[in-house]
Every structure is written in structure tokens, then in C-alpha cells.
Chain A
């Protein structure tokens, strides 16, 4: 589909929100709670936060919830009954205010969840999400999307991408997919015909800091490097990096029992945790933090590109912002590129 470009007046966004609400659409948009910006069910347009460089949590959790029920079970005298999650109960959602780095992250998640075995729970959730991307007018020192193949106005992963054309100005809306087109058809008057707007001059300038293909090549011979120990000496294994990451897909499966009933759930996990790979025997293939840090970088920049043909990083910079001991993935990648093997 050719990308159709329209003009959306600044004041029209609220009208669009209201029309979507009138059409019983569920809208997940950034809002602030306890000082953190996350994607939550938005009741009112006024509750939507704007002006952030990046939300605290990525939009990942709408497609891949932090804790997700797989099935319910109940035991009785006669036996056992098990009821799987009903895919029809998964609601249609508009994901509003997604930065391009999060939107591309969805594609990377999809590669994991469709590697040979198709994860229909994930696919169903994703099929019901319409992504309203919002290009970045600003960036900060943690951003590096341009080093991993992205850019502040990247249309990949969005159904409609809005780019604000200057401070307090109107928006350029790029209608990218059929899903996006379906939204336009609900409020056609708000999407005005426009002359070609050059969006690049309104976008944040994010310098390219490293070459991800060179990093991948370097990593092929880097497994035994002492650099992993150097870099991870201060890592406390808290897993915050994985929990804020838009592409981290590693999960745990746990049971929650309440008497004779209960459910099995899938929940986020992190390769940074010492228990992640611990065997029952006590043996642990990734026994120390440097091995776990190596896994994190190798998985994203070597194993995923090789096995799934995607990189597991979108350059959003959240892991560096969230790290309690100030590890900065950008600096670590640059030093990997610079170190001689």
C-alpha cells in the first residue's frame, strides 16, 4: 500500500479521540502515574501525556502483557477441567503515542513469537492493535535508533504515523496500512488533503554512533572476551533493562493456584537474573553476571540477527535510563566496536 499523506489540525486530535471513543474503541495512551509514563486505558483526551522523549515503559506490554493468563483449570472429584484463554475476549485496541522505536520493536517481538511455532495468543493480540505512531521531535543522549537501522520518523510498525510540524503546530499523518485506513474512514473530515509536507526538518537529530552490522561481525569472535567482565562488574542483576525493553521477549511460565482452581500464566523474565538458567541440580550454565550480560548483548546483536534476521534492539535507550548502576548500552556497544579482539 502506498503511504497516503494527510494533514491533521492540532485541535483535531481530540476530535479524533472522541470519535474513536464514540465508536467504542479502546485507546491505550501514555499517562503519568507516580512520575512514570506508561501506556494505559485512556478515558479522556486530557489525560494523555505529550512532550515526552520516551515513555518509562515501552508499548510492548499491550501486545505482550507483563503477566498473561494461558488457561484456567479446576479440579473436582470427577477429574480435571481446563479452559484456555478465549481469543475472542482479547479486545481491539488503539495504541496511541507510540515512538517509532517502540513500533519497530513490535516487529522484532513478532519474529520471536513466530519462529517456527506460531504463538496464536500473541498473534491474536497483535492483530487487534492499531498503532498510532508519533515521530520524535526531540531526543536525548540515550537515544540511538539511527545506529540500529531506525530513525525518528520511521514508519515501520505504525499503522498511522503522526509527525508534529513544529511546536504547537498541526500534524502530518502518514496512513501506512489498511488498519490505518480504517481509522481514517471513521473520521475522514479530520484527515485533510495536503501538499507534500517535508517532515524531516521537524524530526529530532539522532547521530549514528556505531554500525550494528560491524558489531555483529565483531561479536562472532568476541564470546571469550574479557570485555564482558569489565562491562558488567557493576551490574547487580536487577533485570530492569529487560522490563523496560520494547523487544525483550524472554518469559517464565508459572502456576497460580487458589484452592482447587487456578491458572497458568506467562510472565516477563530476564536473562540478567541468576535463576534464569539455573538447573535443578544446582549447575548453572550462566553462573556469573558477566555471562548473563554477554547473553543479553549477544542475543540482541548476534543470535537474533543470525537466527531471525532481525536485531533485538531498537535504540530506544530505556535500559540505560532505567539502569540503577548507570550502565549505558550505547557506551558498551561503542567500546565493543573499538576493542581489539
Chain B
């Protein structure tokens, strides 16, 4: 097993959660205890999840490293592998290999405010960081989460959103695109960048973590700049297509930078150094 970089761990699906139309979360446990014992990861890292006979697909680890004994992944059913994953039942065995890539430097953020901004299916990579921070809450000042989706139905982790809403030590703002609201919706209505501008979180001693569809990211960065955030204090994670996860298969690079090895976590300052190839 040690000789073969491409050999996945066998994982049993312990629980399936329906998050949103086409979106599920799997809670996975290692079939072999020895694999579990030597496995460790940090927030921001990703892996290759596979259905035997169908293939592999790349997603982040959506659960925080502070919760031991299992990992979770959240995916939308879109391609061949995610369709096959979606057809799996609790108790099924799938493959996982990882963790790969760099990390969100949470330890360096101690003593600061954290501002999380996420859109749609991009909450999962951030959820790992959010729970990681909340599990060591005393280390940070204000924690603000701004999360938006197209419609109320498309919001993922609905139970956790309720949980964060009730917590006194978290400020949660949820929003849906105009027209995406339901009659009983009590959150914001508007696109994420607009909501960020309206809420106007302070940039003083604050780290901003932004994940979302390219168009959301594109319009959120200028808003943050206007609020006084330095490029070094804005983090995001890139998700280029990958096969190997460790710098060999040759497709995830943005110029000379490999998303799988140098990323997937980048600051806006680093992104600005890269050519427009992501």
C-alpha cells in the first residue's frame, strides 16, 4: 500500500445527508482501523473520492480536523463520478485518497476577526475552516459568516446554519438571489457582493475567507478592497480539474503554480501574481 500513491483507502458511508437539490453530504469512516490511525489532515486540504468501476473525483474535506474519526464530503451531482456517488447508499464502500494540498493558516489568524464569505456549493470547503475555528473559538475575536445561494432550497447545511444563527459568538447573514426567496424567508435578498457592501464588515484586524462561483468572487474582491482589506488578508481556494492530486498529471497548473501542490489555498496577493488561467 505504501508503494502505491494511487491506492485509495476503503471508506464506508456511515451517513448520508440531503443538503439541497442534487447535493449530498457523506460521512465516511475508514474500513481499516490502521488507515484511520495514521491519517491526519488540516483545514483546506482535499482528496480524490472514487466509486470503484466509475472513477475518481476531486473535492475538499468538508469536516474539520478537530472532529476525529471520520471525514465528510459534500458534492453536487453533476458528472459521471458524482452521479455514481449519489447512487451509493449508507453502508456502501467508496475509495478516498489524500489529503493533498496546502492549508488555511488558521494558527496564524489567532487574535483576529474572521469574515467568511461563501456562495452556493462553495460553503463546504469553508465549513471545514468555520468549524475548525469555532472548535477553538476562544482564539478569535468576531466571527462573521455571509452565505448566499440562488434560492432558499439551494442553501446547504441548513441545520448548521440554524445552529450558527442561534450562537451568540457567531454573526450569520444568509442571502438568496432576488426571486429565490420563499414566503417565510427572513434573511437578506440580494447577491453576495451587494450584501457584503451593505453589511460593511470592518477590515481592521480581520481575515476574509472567500469561496464561491467565479462571478461571485470577481465582484466580491473589489468590495473588500473598498472596505480596506489588504490583498494578503483575503484568502480563497481554487478548484481546477485534477487527476493525481500531487503534481504529476499536469492539468491543474495556473502558469508555473500547481493548484494541487502550491494550493488550493491562495491569498488574493498570490492570485494577482498568477496569469488568468483558472
Contact = CB atoms under 8 A, between A and B. Distances in A.
Interface of A: 70-71, 73, 75, 79-80, 82, 84-85, 87, 112-113, 115-121, 124, 223-224, 249-255, 257, 262, 264, 266, 269, 271, 276-281, 283, 285-286, 291, 295, 298-299, 302-303, 306-307
A279 B256 contact: no
B203 interface: no
B173 to A, nearest CB: 25
B53 A250 contact: no
Contacts of A80: 10, 31, 52, 93
A239 B215 CA distance: 32
Contacts of B56: 253, 264
B219 interface: no
B238 to A, nearest CB: 10
**Which of B79, B251, B278 has the most A CB atoms < 10 Å from its CB?**
B251
Given A279-B240, A281-B78, A285-B254, A115 B247 contact: yes
Nearest to A258: B53
26 contacts: A73-B53, A85-B4, A116-B261, A117-B247, A118-B5, A121-B4, A121-B5, A249-B250, A250-B250, A250-B251, A253-B244, A255-B50, A257-B54, A262-B53, A264-B6, A271-B250, A271-B251, A276-B251, A277-B251, A279-B240, A283-B214, A285-B240, A285-B254, A285-B277, A303-B256, A306-B256
Q: Which 5 A-B pairs have the closest CB atoms?
A: A250-B250, A257-B53, A117-B246, A120-B3, A84-B4
A255 B249 contact: no
Contact of A113 (B3, B4, B50, B248): B248
Contacts of B213: 281
Interface of B is mostly: loop
Interface in B195-211: none
B250 A251 contact: yes
Chain B interface bracket (under 10, 10 to 19, 20 to 34, 35 or more) = 35 or more
A71 B3 CA distance: 12
A286 B255 CA distance: 11
Contacts of A285: 240, 254, 277-278
Given A253-B55, A306-B256, A82 B79 contact: no
Given A80-B10, A250-B251, A277-B252, 4 more contacts: A73-B52, A120-B2, A269-B243, A279-B239
B277 A286 contact: yes
A280 B79 contact: yes
A80 B258 CA distance: 33
Contacts, number: 128
Contacts of B4: 70-71, 84-85, 120-121
Nearest to B258: A307
A306 B257 CA distance: 10
B55 A255 contact: yes
B240 A223 contact: no
A90 B83 CA distance: 35
Nearest to B275: A223
B253 interface: yes
A84 B3 contact: yes
A120 B5 contact: yes
B3 A87 contact: yes
B243 A253 contact: yes
A80 B92 CA distance: 9
A276 B242 CA distance: 9
A249 B252 CA distance: 14
Contacts of B247: 112, 115-117
A330 B50 CA distance: 41
Contacts of A298: 255
Contacts of B78: 280-281
Contacts of B3: 84, 87, 120-121, 124
B7 interface: yes
A84 B5 CA distance: 10
B276 to A, nearest CB: 9
B110 interface: no
A119 B8 CA distance: 15
A115 B251 contact: no
A118 B6 CA distance: 11
A307 B8 CA distance: 27
**Which of B82, B214, B277 has the most A CB atoms < 10 Å from its CB?**
B277
